[in-house]
Amino acid sequence: MISKTSKPNLPDRMDKAVQKIGHFFMWSNVVLLGLILIAVFVRYILKLRTIEIGELQWHFYAIGFMMGLSYAVTTNSHMGMDLVRDKLSKKTQLRLDILGIIFLLLPFAAIIFYQSLEFVHDSWVVGERSNNDMGLPFRWAIKSLMPISFGLLIVSALSRLLRDISMLSGKGVNDGAK
């Protein structure tokens, strides 16, 4: 949780930026729900093809998922091994979090970020579109979210790492969770 009484520290500022972006993109889930309802109506009531709507659904699902990853890290609402973790001491939990961030999350996010740059560039250069004749003409746009979302994931992981190191060292920076 971001403290309202003291000057925000670096992890708080990083979390706040990622959470603002997350709040904006969470509305993609409302759009996704609307698209699903429209697709059902068009396909089963009007008996029409819904290829474009189906592809838009996948795009909005990708937006919600990719942009939600970093938000979940900042609010500590991501999935974990809570059944095992809750039985450990707070210091052991922090040590495991730090090791997981350093050896698993950051390398994974950095590799995906780096590899996605050329992937996205190539998609932009050729103006990639759906393989389906009735599909969407802008596949490059959704692919562009890959480096953005994994860049935000790196920022949120670094924020969590700084916060956990600070807590482990006894400096008492809050845990960032809501």
The rounded distance, in Å, linking the Cα atoms of 106 and 38 is 39
Average pLDDT of the residues in 46-69: 93
Contact partners, residue 13, CB within 8 Å, separation at least 6: none
Q: How many domains does the structure of the chain reveal?
A: 1
Residue 173 lies in a domain: no
- 178 burial (CB, 10 Å; 0-12 / 13-18 / 19+) is exposed
The rounded distance, in Å, linking the Cα atoms of 52 and 133 is 10
Residue 1 lies in a domain: no
Residue 101 lies in a domain: yes
The rounded distance, in Å, linking the Cα atoms of 116 and 109 is 10
Residue 118 lies in a domain: yes
Give φ, ψ of 88 to 5 degrees.
-95, 160
- Domain encompassing residue 90: 10-168
Residue 149 lies in a domain: yes
Residue 173 has pLDDT above 60, yes or no: no
Q: Which two tokens stand for residue 35?
A: 């698209």
Residue, of 6 and 53, whose pLDDT is higher: 53
Average pLDDT of the residues in 17-41: 95
Q: Which two tokens stand for residue 38?
A: 């429209």
Residue 4 lies in a domain: no
pLDDT at 176: 54
Residue 176 lies in a domain: no
Residue 4 has pLDDT above 70, yes or no: no
Percent of the chain predicted with pLDDT > 70: 90
| Contact (CB, 8 A) for 83 and 48 | no
Residue 47 lies in a domain: yes
**pLDDT class for 154, splitting at 50, 70, 90?**
very high
Q: What is the mean pLDDT of the chain?
A: 90
Residue 98 has pLDDT above 80, yes or no: yes
Q: Which two tokens stand for residue 36?
A: 């699903």
